[in-house]
Structure 1
Amino acid sequence: MRFRHYDSLRLFDVVARHLSFTQAAEELHLTKGAVSYQITRLEEALGFSLFIRQHRGILLTPKGKQLWHTSQAAFHDLENLITQLREDDTSRITVGMSTYFASRWLSPRLMNFMAEHPNISLRLQPMIDLTDFHTENIDMAIRWGKGHWPGMHVELLRQAPVRPATGKKTAAALAGLSSHEWVNTLTLLHDRENSPAWQEWHQRAGETYHAKQGGLVIQDPNVRVQAMIDGQGVGLYDDLISAELNSGQLKWLSDISMPEYGYFLVYPANALNNPALRTFRDWIIEAAEMPY
């Protein structure tokens, strides 16, 4: 029997990205009940479950994960084709990244790329979350993490170990204290809700992690840097804060780092079929290998 519910796959894609009926409903401007009903209808048409409903949220089933990864790639290919048909120009590429990485690492090197490849039109798209990939027509993303983005091709760009840092006034007040003494007194700055980074650092340091209600979530890394300077807490950072460290505005609080973190190129499997994107990918990997 032919499958006739392709229109529901886009809704499924949104729910799978958020793993939340509520957040998907907000993005789609629908009610939570309408989204849940559409997913139930889709599951009936498919003949298998897409989500495991739990008290605190939903999870993709194994078959749901397979369908989501395939649908993501298909939607991205369709969007790329539509863009190419509209513009008939594959020399236009969009690369998503945080403003932190763009301003502190890429910007000083970017003029070299523009001089070497004047025929490529490059757009840098500020990016907080990987869910922006489809909504902003991003061809490639540069993401910080441990390289785990299912359904995407991932390449290490550069290692970026992180360790705790804070403003000079806060650091001065903590002088002589061990991590055991300061780690449970300072406000921990997070990049997102439920981020595992601080919990992982506590484990590495042999400390007990307490998910304190007083934690502060600031998604933009540059804003978190300013928050540390202003004495609002302690954050996990890499060597891209060297300017603030050299000026004395920021201080490391510990030598214990997490070397498994880094910056990665993230893109759909067929993205490098675009010659301009492949050129950018080759250039930035070479640039990352060179001392600066």
Structure 2
Amino acid sequence: MRLPSLIALRTFEVAARRRNFTEAAQELSVTPGAVSRQIRLLEAELGVSLFDRTRNTVSLNENGRKLAATVSQAFDLLIRGADELRGQDDGPIHITCAPSIASHWLMRRLNQYAADNPDITLSLEATEQLTDLERGEATLAIRFTTADSPAQASERLFCETFFPVCSPAYLEQFGPFDAPRDLLKARLIHTHWRNAANLRLPGWDDWFAAYVGEAEPQAGGMRFGLIGHAIQGAVSGQGFALGTTALASDDIANGRLVVPFAERCRLRTPWEYRLAWSRKTTPAEKVRRLIDWLAAEARASAGPESEGEGGA
């Protein structure tokens, strides 16, 4: 018996799991047309159809469901075997996270860790797409999630709070800003990010409602889709942004941003950054050391706000 194409089988496994050729294409970093071609090649080789196709949708048929169960088990076995070897060799530790936390917090620390641990190879991918830790697509991932839905194998890095920040130059030119109401005259930088479940980040309307009452901020100002870009706008002197525990701490420590109200006037949120890994395997010793080191760095960045819960 001849084994079908492994590329076709891998494509089928992802398409069957995702139940969507477009999402499968995104996970595999190919086009939907390439996914469709691999599925048809596999169907031709096996002599059966695996999906029922309509004009706008595809769904597994009985043949597809049977093959999906077998292929999924086979790839799980391969992944577990690879994970066991990763725990024994000197292969790289692959880390994924969103671009904002990568550029504003993680990258500098990974550079420091790599310099202090020259025997360990680190690999960082900054992407908005979620990687599948259970299938070995990364060793560690920093996930932005809500406190009521943490990853099962993870450790909290930051509880997010939001507070006004600006550059020292902006404060000197347009200040002082001694009370929350003073920000009614400030140029504001807005963020309008929402996640897939339509949960959004706090905005200036929330901050003014909490600390100024019913007053509304002035119209105008810059708007960004990512909070990291808004914070960079504040660093460059464009006005006030709502900084966060994770993304603004280094700029504050280095004097690129100032916090006019110090520890006052901070919006607490259910959002948090968590460092996650696969539930199927215990992290190798070198991975555990990195987890502990990053957690300690997060506590040092956030101060008392990060104290409390440890691993999950």
> Is TM more than 0.5 here?
yes
- Mapped partners of 1:86, 1:232: distance in 2: 47
- One-letter amino acid of the counterpart of residue 191, structure 2: L
- Alignment check: 8 A CA contact 2:190 2:221 kept: no
* C-alpha distance in 2 between matches for 1:75 and 1:152: 22
Moved more, 271-280 or 167-176: 167-176
Q: Is the 8 A contact 2:159 2:245 kept in 1?
A: no
Residue-by-residue CA offset, 1:39-95 (whole Å, 9 max, x unaligned):
9543444999xxxxxxxxxxxxxxxxxx9xxx7x99677446447669972653222
Provide the rounded CA distance (Å) in 1 between the counterparts of 2:123 and 2:192.
Answer: 24
Gap change, CA 1:201 and 1:155, over 3 Å in 2: farther
Contact 2:189/2:223, CA 8 A, preserved across alignment: yes
Give the conservation status (yes or no) of the 8 Å contact 2:231–2:241.
no
Spell out the pairing of 1:105-184 with structure 2 (5 A cutoff). 105-108=109-112, 111-112=115-116, 114=117, 119=119, 121-133=120-132, 137-147=137-147, 152-168=152-168, 170-171=170-171, 173=174, 175=177, 178=181, 181=184
The equivalences for 1:20-169 within 5 A come to 27-30=29-32, 37=53, 40-45=57-62, 78-79=78-79, 81-82=81-82, 89=89, 92-97=92-97, 98-108=102-112, 111-112=115-116, 114=117, 119=119, 121-133=120-132, 137-147=137-147, 152-168=152-168
Letter in 1 for 2:15: L
How far apart are 1:7 and its partner, in Å? 5.3
Q: Equivalent residue of 2:121, what SS? A: strand
Measure how far apart 1:140 and its partner are: 0.8
Q: Which residue of 2 aligns with 1:198?
A: 202
Give the 3 Å change call, closer, same or farther, for CA 82–109 of structure 1 in structure 2.
Answer: closer
**Percent identity among equivalent residues?**
16
Give the C-alpha shift of residue 8 in structure 1.
3.7
Q: Contact 2:114–2:122 at 8 Å: present in 1 too?
A: no
Question: Counterpart of 1:265?
Answer: 275
Distance 1:284 1:25, change over 3 A: closer
Aligned-partner residue type, residue 245 of structure 2: D
Q: Which residue of 1 aligns with 2:224?
A: 216
Runs of at least 5 residues in structure 2 that lack an aligned partner in the other structure: 1-8, 40-51, 304-312
Pick the aligned partner of 2:241 from 231, 234, 245.
234
Report SS of the residue matched to 2:267.
Answer: coil
Partner of 1:228: helix, strand, or coil?
Answer: helix
Closer/same/farther in 2, CA of residues 43 and 276 from structure 1, 3 Å limit: same
Instruction: Please report the RMSD computed on the Cα atoms of aligned residues, expressed in angstroms.
Output: 5.2
Shift of 1:139: 0.5
Hey, what does 1:53 align to over in structure 2? none
- CA deviation profile, 1:3-41 (whole Å, cap 9, x unmatched): xx985440255568xxxx76665654125xx69949954
- Compute the displacement of 1:233 (Å): 5.8
Mean Cα deviation higher: 237-246 or 257-266: 237-246
Compared with structure 1, are the counterparts of its residues 88 and 167 closer, same or farther at alpha carbon in structure 2 (3 Å cutoff)?
A: same
Deviation at 1:123, TM superposition (A): 1.0
Higher mean C-alpha deviation, range 73-82 or range 189-198: 73-82
**1:13-24 paired onto structure 2 within 5 Å:** 13=17
Q: Which residue identity lines up with residue 184 of structure 2 in the other structure?
A: E
SS in 2 for 1:252: coil
Distance 2:184 2:145 in 1: 28
**TM-superposed deviation, 1:202:** 1.3
**In the comparison of the two structures, how many residue pairs are matched?**
253
Counterpart-to-counterpart distance in 2, 1:284 and 1:247: 19
Residues 163 and 256 in structure 1, CA contact (< 8 A), matched pair in contact too = yes
Shift in CA distance, 100/245, structure 1 to aligned 2, threshold 3 Å: closer
Letter in 2 for 1:225: I
Aligned amino acid, residue 215 of structure 1: R
